[in-house]
Amino acid sequence: MSDATARLDEVRGRIDAAARAAGRDPAAVTLVAVSKTHGADRVRELLQVGQRVFGENRVQEAEGKFPALKAEYPDLELHLIGPLQTNKAREAVALFDVIQSVDRERLAATLAKEMDRAGRRPACYVQVNTGEEPQKAGVLPAEVDAFVAACRDSHKLPVVGLMCIPPVDEDPSLHFALLAKMAARNGLDRVSMGMSADYETAVRLGATHVRVGTALFGSRGT
Ligand SMILES: *Cc1c(COP(=O)(O)O)cnc(C)c1O
């Protein structure tokens, strides 16, 4: 068994166990394999053993790897999980199937315009800064409901869920529970939360998408 197979089996097995323990259907949890900094060959290893959903945090890096992989695997689903600058919105709409980092009005407006122009509508998540960290992207918890409404009603964006990255030095449980609650309150059924260190906790608290890099690909170095 290759390393890629073993790691994928391990992570998928832990997701399934955490879901069952919480009384949830394991099939309701999608593993997003975060391939940032790793080359196309590493992505292909996982594609060859059945993984289809990938996450990248930079438009430019993804543009270098994924067009060829998508041509080889038409059912590959690519998520943007990092901050998006408005001047990269056109490229993001062209390449990504899901954009998880919508977090400000101007970006929402630009994405809406680019989607109309391209005739392509990637599903959108609103990123929430649950820890209210000044340096971190995402809308503040108090602003989520109004921002989701603006994205849907004013900009007609296909908003399907919420995403968060909790503060590194806090128990993520409170953040995950808060995000799930805000999603439910807004009628959004997808919740993207949990990374290598805490994806089982996230699954217990209702994650429909976990974003796992290191546990699948190994360390990114520095
Ligand atoms: C890098 C990254 C991940 C994956 O982190 P790991 O700890 O390597 O699993 C998840 N989400 C976002 C937004 C990231 O940038």
pLDDT per residue as tens digits for the range 209-219:
999 999 999 99
* Residue 109: Cβ within 10 Å count: 17
Residue nearest to atom 12 of ligand 1 (CA): 81
How far is 157 from 32, CA to CA, in rounded Å?
A: 22
pLDDT (0 to 100) of residue 1: 60
Residue nearest to atom 13 of ligand 1 (CA): 81
Query: What pLDDT, on a 0 to 100 scale, did the predictor assign at position 220?
Result: 86
Return the SS3 of 209.
Answer: strand
Quick check: 3 pLDDT over 90? Answer: no
Cβ(105)–Cβ(128) below 8 Å: no
Q: Looking at per-residue confidence, does 138 or 2 come out higher?
A: 138
For residue 6, give Cα distances in angstroms to 9, 46, 202.
5, 10, 22
Mean pLDDT of 20-41: 97
Give the pLDDT of residue 46. Answer: 96
Measured from the CB, is residue 166 less than 6 Å from ligand 1? Answer: no
**Closest residue (by CA) to atom 6 of ligand 1?**
213
CA of 195 to the centre of ligand 1 (A): 6
Map tokens 């994806």 to a residue.
199
